[in-house]
Structure 1
Amino acid sequence: MPAASTSHLVLIPSYNPGAKVYDTVRAARAQWAPVWVVVDGSTDGSAERLQAMAAADPGLHVIVLPENRGKGAAVLEGARAAARAGFTHVLTMDSDGQHPADLIPAFMAASQAAPACMVLGKPVFAADAPRLRVNGRKVSNGWANLETLWMGIGDSLYGFRVYPIEPLCRVMTGQKWMRRFDFDPEAVVRLCWDGVQPLNLDAPVRYFRADEGGVSHFNYLRDNTLLTWMHTRLFLGFLWRLPGLVWRRAAGRAESGE
Protein backbone atom coordinates (compact mmCIF):
# COMPACT_ATOMS: atom_id res chain seq x y z
CA MET A 1 0.00 0.00 0.00
CA PRO A 2 1.26 3.53 -0.76
CA ALA A 3 2.36 5.86 2.02
CA ALA A 4 -0.35 8.24 3.17
CA SER A 5 -0.36 11.74 1.69
CA THR A 6 -0.90 14.68 4.00
CA SER A 7 -2.15 17.04 1.26
CA HIS A 8 -4.04 15.02 -1.37
CA LEU A 9 -6.77 12.44 -0.87
CA VAL A 10 -9.10 10.45 -3.10
CA LEU A 11 -12.76 11.34 -2.57
CA ILE A 12 -15.45 8.94 -3.84
CA PRO A 13 -19.10 10.05 -3.65
CA SER A 14 -21.37 7.02 -3.71
CA TYR A 15 -25.11 6.49 -4.03
CA ASN A 16 -26.55 2.97 -4.45
CA PRO A 17 -23.55 2.04 -6.60
CA GLY A 18 -23.92 -1.71 -6.88
CA ALA A 19 -21.23 -4.26 -6.14
CA LYS A 20 -18.53 -2.50 -8.18
CA VAL A 21 -18.02 0.08 -5.45
CA TYR A 22 -15.97 -2.38 -3.41
CA ASP A 23 -13.63 -3.11 -6.31
CA THR A 24 -13.40 0.64 -6.99
CA VAL A 25 -12.39 1.36 -3.40
CA ARG A 26 -9.85 -1.47 -3.34
CA ALA A 27 -8.36 -0.29 -6.64
CA ALA A 28 -8.11 3.28 -5.36
CA ARG A 29 -6.49 2.12 -2.11
CA ALA A 30 -3.95 0.10 -4.06
CA GLN A 31 -2.84 3.35 -5.70
CA TRP A 32 -3.28 5.98 -3.00
CA ALA A 33 -3.80 6.77 0.66
CA PRO A 34 -5.95 8.09 2.10
CA VAL A 35 -9.20 7.27 0.31
CA TRP A 36 -12.46 8.71 1.59
CA VAL A 37 -15.92 7.54 0.56
CA VAL A 38 -19.00 9.71 1.08
CA VAL A 39 -22.08 7.47 1.15
CA ASP A 40 -24.84 9.76 -0.06
CA GLY A 41 -27.88 8.28 1.66
CA SER A 42 -27.51 4.87 0.01
CA THR A 43 -30.23 2.31 0.75
CA ASP A 44 -28.50 -0.75 -0.77
CA GLY A 45 -26.49 -1.80 2.28
CA SER A 46 -23.22 -0.52 0.84
CA ALA A 47 -22.65 1.87 3.76
CA GLU A 48 -22.36 -0.97 6.25
CA ARG A 49 -19.97 -3.00 4.12
CA LEU A 50 -17.81 0.04 3.37
CA GLN A 51 -17.66 0.87 7.07
CA ALA A 52 -16.52 -2.69 7.75
CA MET A 53 -13.78 -2.28 5.13
CA ALA A 54 -12.70 1.00 6.76
CA ALA A 55 -12.54 -0.61 10.19
CA ALA A 56 -9.87 -2.96 8.84
CA ASP A 57 -8.00 -0.33 6.79
CA PRO A 58 -6.58 2.85 8.37
CA GLY A 59 -6.15 4.35 4.90
CA LEU A 60 -9.89 4.24 4.23
CA HIS A 61 -12.44 6.60 5.78
CA VAL A 62 -16.21 6.50 5.24
CA ILE A 63 -18.65 9.37 5.76
CA VAL A 64 -22.33 8.41 5.78
CA LEU A 65 -24.97 11.04 4.97
CA PRO A 66 -28.44 10.29 6.36
CA GLU A 67 -30.25 11.06 3.11
CA ASN A 68 -29.50 11.44 -0.58
CA ARG A 69 -28.40 15.01 -1.31
CA GLY A 70 -26.75 14.67 -4.71
CA LYS A 71 -23.21 14.22 -6.01
CA GLY A 72 -22.18 17.84 -5.55
CA ALA A 73 -23.47 17.94 -1.99
CA ALA A 74 -21.56 14.74 -1.19
CA VAL A 75 -18.34 16.14 -2.66
CA LEU A 76 -18.79 19.38 -0.71
CA GLU A 77 -19.33 17.45 2.52
CA GLY A 78 -16.17 15.44 1.92
CA ALA A 79 -14.13 18.46 0.81
CA ARG A 80 -15.08 20.44 3.91
CA ALA A 81 -14.15 17.54 6.15
CA ALA A 82 -10.87 17.12 4.27
CA ALA A 83 -10.05 20.81 4.72
CA ARG A 84 -10.71 20.54 8.45
CA ALA A 85 -8.28 17.60 8.53
CA GLY A 86 -5.57 19.69 6.86
CA PHE A 87 -5.80 18.43 3.26
CA THR A 88 -5.49 20.85 0.35
CA HIS A 89 -6.65 18.80 -2.66
CA VAL A 90 -9.15 16.07 -3.50
CA LEU A 91 -9.23 13.74 -6.46
CA THR A 92 -12.85 12.88 -7.18
CA MET A 93 -13.82 9.65 -8.91
CA ASP A 94 -17.07 7.76 -9.40
CA SER A 95 -17.84 4.68 -7.35
CA ASP A 96 -19.11 2.52 -10.22
CA GLY A 97 -15.79 1.44 -11.70
CA GLN A 98 -15.88 3.69 -14.77
CA HIS A 99 -12.82 5.72 -13.82
CA PRO A 100 -9.17 4.54 -14.09
CA ALA A 101 -7.80 4.05 -10.58
CA ASP A 102 -4.37 3.24 -12.01
CA LEU A 103 -4.04 6.89 -13.12
CA ILE A 104 -4.53 8.29 -9.61
CA PRO A 105 -0.77 8.71 -8.98
CA ALA A 106 -0.26 10.53 -12.30
CA PHE A 107 -3.12 12.94 -11.63
CA MET A 108 -1.92 13.56 -8.09
CA ALA A 109 1.63 14.20 -9.34
CA ALA A 110 0.32 16.73 -11.86
CA SER A 111 -1.60 18.48 -9.09
CA GLN A 112 1.40 18.51 -6.76
CA ALA A 113 3.50 20.07 -9.53
CA ALA A 114 0.86 22.80 -10.15
CA PRO A 115 -1.17 23.04 -6.93
CA ALA A 116 -3.07 26.20 -7.95
CA CYS A 117 -4.58 24.38 -10.94
CA MET A 118 -7.35 21.83 -11.29
CA VAL A 119 -6.40 18.63 -13.12
CA LEU A 120 -9.21 17.50 -15.40
CA GLY A 121 -9.59 14.07 -16.89
CA LYS A 122 -10.24 14.11 -20.63
CA PRO A 123 -12.13 10.90 -21.40
CA VAL A 124 -10.89 8.38 -23.90
CA PHE A 125 -13.89 6.29 -24.90
CA ALA A 126 -13.90 2.65 -25.90
CA ALA A 127 -15.65 1.61 -29.08
CA ASP A 128 -18.65 0.27 -27.12
CA ALA A 129 -19.35 3.56 -25.28
CA PRO A 130 -22.98 4.72 -25.76
CA ARG A 131 -23.00 7.09 -28.73
CA LEU A 132 -25.74 9.22 -27.23
CA ARG A 133 -23.63 9.86 -24.14
CA VAL A 134 -20.43 10.47 -26.13
CA ASN A 135 -22.00 12.89 -28.61
CA GLY A 136 -24.31 14.56 -26.10
CA ARG A 137 -21.42 15.75 -23.93
CA LYS A 138 -20.07 17.78 -26.84
CA VAL A 139 -22.92 20.23 -26.31
CA SER A 140 -22.02 20.77 -22.65
CA ASN A 141 -18.34 21.06 -23.52
CA GLY A 142 -19.09 23.71 -26.14
CA TRP A 143 -21.10 25.78 -23.68
CA ALA A 144 -18.51 25.41 -20.92
CA ASN A 145 -15.73 26.65 -23.20
CA LEU A 146 -17.81 29.59 -24.40
CA GLU A 147 -18.71 30.51 -20.80
CA THR A 148 -15.01 30.63 -19.88
CA LEU A 149 -13.72 32.25 -23.10
CA TRP A 150 -11.94 29.04 -24.00
CA MET A 151 -9.69 28.84 -20.94
CA GLY A 152 -8.93 25.23 -21.88
CA ILE A 153 -11.57 22.89 -20.45
CA GLY A 154 -10.89 19.58 -22.19
CA ASP A 155 -14.08 17.97 -20.89
CA SER A 156 -16.68 19.51 -18.60
CA LEU A 157 -18.49 16.35 -17.51
CA TYR A 158 -15.83 13.79 -16.70
CA GLY A 159 -15.69 13.49 -12.92
CA PHE A 160 -12.19 12.04 -12.63
CA ARG A 161 -10.28 15.18 -11.62
CA VAL A 162 -8.25 16.88 -8.89
CA TYR A 163 -9.62 20.03 -7.24
CA PRO A 164 -7.84 22.47 -4.93
CA ILE A 165 -10.18 22.38 -1.94
CA GLU A 166 -10.20 26.02 -0.88
CA PRO A 167 -11.49 27.56 -4.14
CA LEU A 168 -13.87 24.65 -4.70
CA CYS A 169 -15.53 25.15 -1.32
CA ARG A 170 -15.58 28.90 -1.84
CA VAL A 171 -17.42 28.82 -5.17
CA MET A 172 -19.85 26.17 -3.91
CA THR A 173 -20.61 27.97 -0.68
CA GLY A 174 -21.21 31.20 -2.58
CA GLN A 175 -24.38 29.93 -4.25
CA LYS A 176 -26.99 27.20 -3.85
CA TRP A 177 -26.39 25.27 -7.06
CA MET A 178 -23.81 22.57 -7.93
CA ARG A 179 -25.37 20.05 -5.57
CA ARG A 180 -26.59 17.31 -7.93
CA PHE A 181 -25.73 15.96 -11.38
CA ASP A 182 -24.86 19.47 -12.55
CA PHE A 183 -21.89 19.59 -10.18
CA ASP A 184 -19.08 18.56 -12.54
CA PRO A 185 -19.59 21.06 -15.41
CA GLU A 186 -20.58 23.95 -13.15
CA ALA A 187 -17.54 23.37 -10.93
CA VAL A 188 -15.06 23.76 -13.78
CA VAL A 189 -16.79 26.85 -15.18
CA ARG A 190 -17.00 28.62 -11.81
CA LEU A 191 -13.45 27.68 -10.90
CA CYS A 192 -12.25 29.10 -14.21
CA TRP A 193 -14.14 32.30 -13.39
CA ASP A 194 -12.34 32.26 -10.05
CA GLY A 195 -8.98 32.13 -11.82
CA VAL A 196 -8.20 28.42 -11.36
CA GLN A 197 -6.46 27.19 -14.50
CA PRO A 198 -7.37 23.77 -15.94
CA LEU A 199 -4.80 21.12 -16.81
CA ASN A 200 -6.07 18.28 -18.98
CA LEU A 201 -4.87 14.68 -18.90
CA ASP A 202 -6.26 11.85 -21.02
CA ALA A 203 -8.01 9.12 -19.05
CA PRO A 204 -9.98 6.12 -20.31
CA VAL A 205 -13.60 5.70 -19.26
CA ARG A 206 -15.60 2.49 -19.33
CA TYR A 207 -19.36 2.08 -19.38
CA PHE A 208 -20.58 -1.19 -17.88
CA ARG A 209 -23.75 -2.90 -19.07
CA ALA A 210 -26.31 -4.02 -16.50
CA ASP A 211 -25.26 -7.64 -16.99
CA GLU A 212 -21.69 -6.58 -16.15
CA GLY A 213 -22.78 -5.04 -12.87
CA GLY A 214 -23.16 -1.51 -14.20
CA VAL A 215 -25.51 0.82 -12.33
CA SER A 216 -26.55 4.15 -13.81
CA HIS A 217 -28.71 6.82 -12.18
CA PHE A 218 -28.59 9.00 -15.30
CA ASN A 219 -32.02 10.02 -16.61
CA TYR A 220 -31.83 11.56 -20.07
CA LEU A 221 -34.84 13.87 -19.74
CA ARG A 222 -34.34 14.92 -16.12
CA ASP A 223 -30.58 15.36 -16.25
CA ASN A 224 -30.45 17.04 -19.66
CA THR A 225 -33.11 19.46 -18.43
CA LEU A 226 -30.92 20.10 -15.39
CA LEU A 227 -27.88 20.72 -17.63
CA THR A 228 -29.89 23.07 -19.85
CA TRP A 229 -31.00 25.13 -16.85
CA MET A 230 -27.43 25.10 -15.51
CA HIS A 231 -25.95 26.43 -18.75
CA THR A 232 -28.68 29.07 -18.97
CA ARG A 233 -27.64 30.33 -15.54
CA LEU A 234 -23.96 30.10 -16.38
CA PHE A 235 -24.38 31.96 -19.65
CA LEU A 236 -26.12 34.82 -17.86
CA GLY A 237 -23.27 34.81 -15.34
CA PHE A 238 -20.80 34.77 -18.23
CA LEU A 239 -22.37 37.88 -19.77
CA TRP A 240 -22.09 39.67 -16.42
CA ARG A 241 -18.43 38.65 -16.09
CA LEU A 242 -17.50 39.11 -19.75
CA PRO A 243 -15.58 42.41 -19.38
CA GLY A 244 -13.47 40.95 -16.57
CA LEU A 245 -12.85 37.72 -18.49
CA VAL A 246 -11.77 39.66 -21.59
CA TRP A 247 -9.44 41.81 -19.47
CA ARG A 248 -7.95 38.75 -17.79
CA ARG A 249 -7.38 37.05 -21.14
CA ALA A 250 -5.73 40.16 -22.58
CA ALA A 251 -3.55 40.57 -19.49
CA GLY A 252 -2.50 36.94 -19.68
CA ARG A 253 -1.53 37.27 -23.32
CA ALA A 254 0.41 40.45 -22.66
CA GLU A 255 2.28 38.80 -19.79
CA SER A 256 3.20 35.81 -21.95
CA GLY A 257 4.28 38.08 -24.84
CA GLU A 258 1.66 36.85 -27.31
Structure 2
Amino acid sequence: MAESVLAESAFKPIVVIPVYNHEEAISVTLADVLRFGYPVLLVDDGSSAKCRDVLVGLRDQYAGRVSLMRLEQNGGKGAAVKAGLRQALEAGYSHAVQVDADGQHDLDDIPLFMEVAYSSPEALVIGYPRYDESVPTHRYLARYLTHIWVWINTLSFLVKDTMCGFRVYPLTQVVSLLQEDCCGDRMEFDTEVVVRWVWRGLAVENLPTKVHYPIDGVSHFNAVKDNVLISRMHAKLFFGMLLRLPRLMRKKLNV
Protein backbone atom coordinates (compact mmCIF):
# COMPACT_ATOMS: atom_id res chain seq x y z
CA MET A 1 0.00 0.00 0.00
CA ALA A 2 2.80 2.42 0.87
CA GLU A 3 4.46 1.77 -2.49
CA SER A 4 1.18 2.51 -4.30
CA VAL A 5 0.73 5.82 -2.47
CA LEU A 6 4.32 6.79 -3.21
CA ALA A 7 3.92 5.99 -6.91
CA GLU A 8 0.68 7.96 -7.10
CA SER A 9 2.21 10.99 -5.39
CA ALA A 10 5.14 10.89 -7.84
CA PHE A 11 2.81 10.90 -10.84
CA LYS A 12 2.04 14.56 -11.46
CA PRO A 13 0.81 15.17 -15.02
CA ILE A 14 0.01 18.38 -16.88
CA VAL A 15 -1.54 18.94 -20.30
CA VAL A 16 0.57 21.03 -22.71
CA ILE A 17 -1.19 22.67 -25.66
CA PRO A 18 0.86 24.57 -28.27
CA VAL A 19 -1.24 27.35 -29.82
CA TYR A 20 -0.66 29.45 -32.91
CA ASN A 21 -3.60 31.54 -34.13
CA HIS A 22 -6.25 29.00 -33.14
CA GLU A 23 -8.42 31.59 -31.39
CA GLU A 24 -11.61 30.03 -32.77
CA ALA A 25 -10.87 26.49 -31.56
CA ILE A 26 -8.82 26.81 -28.40
CA SER A 27 -11.70 27.72 -26.08
CA VAL A 28 -13.57 24.53 -27.03
CA THR A 29 -10.43 22.39 -26.85
CA LEU A 30 -9.43 23.79 -23.47
CA ALA A 31 -12.90 23.30 -21.96
CA ASP A 32 -12.84 19.72 -23.25
CA VAL A 33 -9.48 19.07 -21.58
CA LEU A 34 -10.43 20.69 -18.27
CA ARG A 35 -13.29 18.21 -17.78
CA PHE A 36 -10.71 15.74 -16.48
CA GLY A 37 -9.28 17.97 -13.77
CA TYR A 38 -5.66 18.17 -14.93
CA PRO A 39 -3.72 21.45 -14.99
CA VAL A 40 -3.06 22.91 -18.42
CA LEU A 41 -0.16 24.89 -19.84
CA LEU A 42 -0.98 26.88 -22.96
CA VAL A 43 2.09 27.75 -25.03
CA ASP A 44 1.41 30.77 -27.24
CA ASP A 45 3.77 30.37 -30.18
CA GLY A 46 3.94 34.04 -31.13
CA SER A 47 0.26 34.28 -32.08
CA SER A 48 -1.51 37.36 -33.40
CA ALA A 49 -2.89 39.96 -31.00
CA LYS A 50 -6.38 38.50 -31.43
CA CYS A 51 -5.33 35.00 -30.40
CA ARG A 52 -3.05 36.37 -27.66
CA ASP A 53 -6.00 38.21 -26.10
CA VAL A 54 -8.14 35.07 -26.22
CA LEU A 55 -5.41 33.09 -24.46
CA VAL A 56 -4.96 35.72 -21.77
CA GLY A 57 -8.71 35.69 -21.22
CA LEU A 58 -8.74 31.91 -20.88
CA ARG A 59 -5.87 32.00 -18.40
CA ASP A 60 -7.77 34.54 -16.29
CA GLN A 61 -11.07 32.70 -16.64
CA TYR A 62 -9.53 29.45 -15.40
CA ALA A 63 -7.09 30.97 -12.92
CA GLY A 64 -5.35 28.31 -10.88
CA ARG A 65 -6.09 25.62 -13.46
CA VAL A 66 -4.54 27.11 -16.60
CA SER A 67 -1.15 28.78 -17.03
CA LEU A 68 0.09 30.64 -20.09
CA MET A 69 3.57 30.79 -21.58
CA ARG A 70 4.17 33.20 -24.45
CA LEU A 71 6.93 32.93 -27.03
CA GLU A 72 7.45 36.34 -28.60
CA GLN A 73 8.39 34.93 -32.02
CA ASN A 74 6.62 32.15 -33.87
CA GLY A 75 9.07 29.25 -33.81
CA GLY A 76 6.88 26.38 -34.99
CA LYS A 77 4.97 23.59 -33.29
CA GLY A 78 8.13 21.76 -32.24
CA ALA A 79 9.64 24.86 -30.66
CA ALA A 80 6.43 25.48 -28.71
CA VAL A 81 6.19 21.89 -27.49
CA LYS A 82 9.84 21.85 -26.42
CA ALA A 83 9.42 25.10 -24.49
CA GLY A 84 6.31 23.73 -22.81
CA LEU A 85 7.97 20.45 -21.82
CA ARG A 86 10.91 22.26 -20.25
CA GLN A 87 8.59 24.63 -18.41
CA ALA A 88 6.49 21.74 -17.12
CA LEU A 89 9.55 19.91 -15.77
CA GLU A 90 10.82 23.06 -14.08
CA ALA A 91 7.41 23.46 -12.45
CA GLY A 92 7.71 20.01 -10.88
CA TYR A 93 5.48 17.90 -13.12
CA SER A 94 6.40 14.32 -13.96
CA HIS A 95 4.52 13.85 -17.23
CA ALA A 96 3.11 16.05 -19.98
CA VAL A 97 0.17 15.20 -22.19
CA GLN A 98 0.58 16.88 -25.58
CA VAL A 99 -2.59 17.67 -27.53
CA ASP A 100 -3.21 19.97 -30.49
CA ALA A 101 -5.15 23.19 -30.12
CA ASP A 102 -7.35 22.71 -33.18
CA GLY A 103 -9.69 20.10 -31.71
CA GLN A 104 -8.68 17.18 -33.93
CA HIS A 105 -8.02 14.77 -31.07
CA ASP A 106 -10.62 12.72 -29.22
CA LEU A 107 -9.98 14.08 -25.75
CA ASP A 108 -12.29 11.50 -24.20
CA ASP A 109 -9.19 9.28 -24.44
CA ILE A 110 -7.21 11.41 -21.96
CA PRO A 111 -8.10 9.15 -18.97
CA LEU A 112 -6.92 6.07 -20.89
CA PHE A 113 -3.65 7.78 -21.89
CA MET A 114 -3.15 8.80 -18.26
CA GLU A 115 -3.88 5.28 -17.04
CA VAL A 116 -1.25 3.79 -19.35
CA ALA A 117 1.28 6.49 -18.42
CA TYR A 118 0.66 5.82 -14.73
CA SER A 119 1.08 2.06 -15.21
CA SER A 120 4.20 2.50 -17.40
CA PRO A 121 5.73 5.75 -16.13
CA GLU A 122 8.97 5.36 -18.12
CA ALA A 123 7.17 4.87 -21.45
CA LEU A 124 6.31 7.39 -24.13
CA VAL A 125 2.60 6.87 -24.74
CA ILE A 126 1.75 7.63 -28.37
CA GLY A 127 -1.63 7.80 -30.05
CA TYR A 128 -2.11 6.24 -33.46
CA PRO A 129 -5.04 7.61 -35.45
CA ARG A 130 -8.33 6.06 -36.35
CA TYR A 131 -9.64 8.55 -38.89
CA ASP A 132 -13.17 9.57 -39.77
CA GLU A 133 -14.33 10.86 -43.16
CA SER A 134 -12.92 14.34 -42.50
CA VAL A 135 -9.31 13.30 -43.16
CA PRO A 136 -7.94 14.56 -46.51
CA THR A 137 -6.99 11.56 -48.65
CA HIS A 138 -3.57 12.96 -49.58
CA ARG A 139 -2.74 13.51 -45.91
CA TYR A 140 -3.84 9.98 -45.05
CA LEU A 141 -1.71 8.41 -47.78
CA ALA A 142 1.29 10.66 -47.19
CA ARG A 143 1.60 9.45 -43.61
CA TYR A 144 2.65 6.03 -44.88
CA LEU A 145 5.79 7.50 -46.42
CA THR A 146 6.79 8.68 -42.97
CA HIS A 147 5.84 5.29 -41.48
CA ILE A 148 8.19 3.56 -43.92
CA TRP A 149 11.05 5.91 -43.11
CA VAL A 150 10.48 5.45 -39.37
CA TRP A 151 10.52 1.67 -39.73
CA ILE A 152 13.79 1.95 -41.65
CA ASN A 153 15.39 4.44 -39.28
CA THR A 154 14.47 2.46 -36.16
CA LEU A 155 14.85 -1.00 -37.73
CA SER A 156 11.60 -1.93 -36.02
CA PHE A 157 7.82 -1.73 -36.08
CA LEU A 158 7.75 -0.65 -32.46
CA VAL A 159 5.95 2.63 -33.20
CA LYS A 160 2.63 2.56 -35.04
CA ASP A 161 2.48 6.29 -35.81
CA THR A 162 4.90 9.16 -35.15
CA MET A 163 2.86 12.03 -36.55
CA CYS A 164 -0.05 12.04 -34.10
CA GLY A 165 0.31 14.95 -31.68
CA PHE A 166 -1.64 13.22 -28.90
CA ARG A 167 0.89 11.62 -26.55
CA VAL A 168 2.24 11.51 -22.99
CA TYR A 169 5.89 12.29 -22.32
CA PRO A 170 7.84 11.28 -19.19
CA LEU A 171 9.36 14.71 -18.63
CA THR A 172 12.74 13.86 -17.13
CA GLN A 173 13.60 11.53 -20.00
CA VAL A 174 12.33 13.70 -22.84
CA VAL A 175 13.94 16.91 -21.57
CA SER A 176 17.23 15.04 -21.18
CA LEU A 177 16.88 13.84 -24.78
CA LEU A 178 16.18 17.37 -26.00
CA GLN A 179 19.24 18.69 -24.19
CA GLU A 180 21.49 16.21 -25.98
CA ASP A 181 19.83 15.87 -29.40
CA CYS A 182 18.66 18.61 -31.73
CA CYS A 183 15.04 17.94 -32.76
CA GLY A 184 13.28 20.09 -35.32
CA ASP A 185 11.22 23.14 -34.45
CA ARG A 186 8.31 22.69 -36.85
CA MET A 187 6.08 19.80 -37.91
CA GLU A 188 9.02 17.40 -38.12
CA PHE A 189 9.41 17.46 -34.34
CA ASP A 190 6.76 14.86 -33.53
CA THR A 191 8.44 12.22 -35.67
CA GLU A 192 12.04 13.05 -34.88
CA VAL A 193 11.67 12.97 -31.11
CA VAL A 194 10.06 9.52 -31.31
CA VAL A 195 12.83 8.08 -33.50
CA ARG A 196 15.48 9.42 -31.14
CA TRP A 197 13.50 8.04 -28.20
CA VAL A 198 13.56 4.57 -29.76
CA TRP A 199 17.27 4.88 -30.51
CA ARG A 200 17.83 5.34 -26.79
CA GLY A 201 16.10 2.03 -26.09
CA LEU A 202 13.30 3.70 -24.14
CA ALA A 203 9.85 2.17 -23.81
CA VAL A 204 6.89 3.01 -26.07
CA GLU A 205 3.18 2.31 -25.65
CA ASN A 206 0.84 2.72 -28.65
CA LEU A 207 -2.85 3.57 -28.17
CA PRO A 208 -5.54 3.92 -30.85
CA THR A 209 -7.41 7.22 -30.85
CA LYS A 210 -9.98 8.86 -33.10
CA VAL A 211 -8.78 11.85 -35.15
CA HIS A 212 -10.73 14.27 -37.28
CA TYR A 213 -9.69 17.42 -39.13
CA PRO A 214 -9.91 20.30 -37.46
CA ILE A 215 -12.90 22.17 -36.00
CA ASP A 216 -11.73 25.65 -37.07
CA GLY A 217 -10.48 24.64 -40.52
CA VAL A 218 -7.04 26.15 -39.80
CA SER A 219 -3.90 24.20 -40.63
CA HIS A 220 -0.40 25.59 -40.22
CA PHE A 221 1.21 22.86 -42.31
CA ASN A 222 3.16 24.55 -45.09
CA ALA A 223 3.15 22.12 -48.01
CA VAL A 224 6.50 23.32 -49.35
CA LYS A 225 8.49 24.36 -46.29
CA ASP A 226 7.34 21.59 -43.97
CA ASN A 227 7.71 18.85 -46.57
CA VAL A 228 11.27 20.02 -47.24
CA LEU A 229 12.03 20.01 -43.50
CA ILE A 230 10.48 16.58 -43.07
CA SER A 231 12.47 15.20 -46.00
CA ARG A 232 15.68 16.62 -44.53
CA MET A 233 14.80 15.13 -41.16
CA HIS A 234 14.31 11.66 -42.64
CA ALA A 235 17.65 11.93 -44.47
CA LYS A 236 19.41 13.07 -41.29
CA LEU A 237 17.85 10.26 -39.28
CA PHE A 238 18.79 7.73 -41.95
CA PHE A 239 22.47 8.62 -41.68
CA GLY A 240 22.10 8.65 -37.90
CA MET A 241 20.68 5.14 -38.12
CA LEU A 242 23.66 4.01 -40.19
CA LEU A 243 26.02 5.28 -37.49
CA ARG A 244 24.03 3.36 -34.89
CA LEU A 245 23.51 0.30 -37.08
CA PRO A 246 25.78 -2.13 -35.18
CA ARG A 247 24.16 -1.28 -31.85
CA LEU A 248 20.64 -1.38 -33.29
CA MET A 249 21.31 -4.76 -34.90
CA ARG A 250 22.78 -6.18 -31.69
CA LYS A 251 19.70 -5.06 -29.84
CA LYS A 252 17.40 -6.48 -32.51
CA LEU A 253 19.19 -9.82 -32.43
CA ASN A 254 19.54 -9.73 -28.62
CA VAL A 255 23.29 -10.23 -28.93
TM-score (norm 2): 0.91
Instruction: Please state whether the residue corresponding to 2:41 is helix, strand or coil.
Output: strand
Equivalent of residue 118 in structure 1, options 115, 119, 124: 124
CA distance in 2, matches of 1:115, 1:76: 20
Q: Which amino acid aligns with 1:239?
A: L
Q: Which amino acid aligns with 2:118?
A: Q
Alignment of structure 1 residues 37-76 onto 2, 5 Å: 37-57=42-62, 58-76=64-82
Instruction: Please state whether the residue corresponding to 1:220 is helix, strand or coil.
Output: coil
Identity value in percent: 35
**Aligned counterpart, 1:238:** 241
Alignment of structure 1 residues 200-219 onto 2, 5 Å: 200-208=206-214, 213-219=216-222
Mapped contact 1:18–1:215 kept (Cα < 8 A): no
**Aligned counterpart, 1:94:** 100
**Aligned counterpart, 2:253:** 250
Q: Report which stretch shifted further, 215-224 or 155-164.
A: 215-224
Mapped contact 2:16–2:41 kept (Cα < 8 A): yes
TM-score (norm 1): 0.90
Q: Does 1:192 align with 2:198?
A: yes
Mapped contact 1:18–1:96 kept (Cα < 8 A): no
**Aligned counterpart, 2:22:** 17
Q: Does 1:140 align with 2:143?
A: no
Mapped contact 1:18–1:214 kept (Cα < 8 A): no
Mapped contact 1:14–1:40 kept (Cα < 8 A): yes
How far apart are 1:187 and its partner, in Å? 0.8
**Aligned counterpart, 1:8:** 13
CA distance in 2, matches of 1:158, 1:213: 18
**Cα gap change, 1:161/1:201 in structure 2, threshold over 3 Å: closer, same or farther?**
same
Name structure 2 gaps, 5 residues minimum: 1-8
How far apart are 1:104 and its partner, in Å? 0.8
Mapped contact 2:23–2:54 kept (Cα < 8 A): no
Name structure 1 gaps, 5 residues minimum: none
Mapped contact 1:89–1:162 kept (Cα < 8 A): yes
- Poorly superposed stretches of 4+, deviation over 6 Å: none
Q: Supply the RMSD in Å over aligned alpha carbons.
A: 1.7
How far apart are 1:88 and its partner, in Å? 1.4
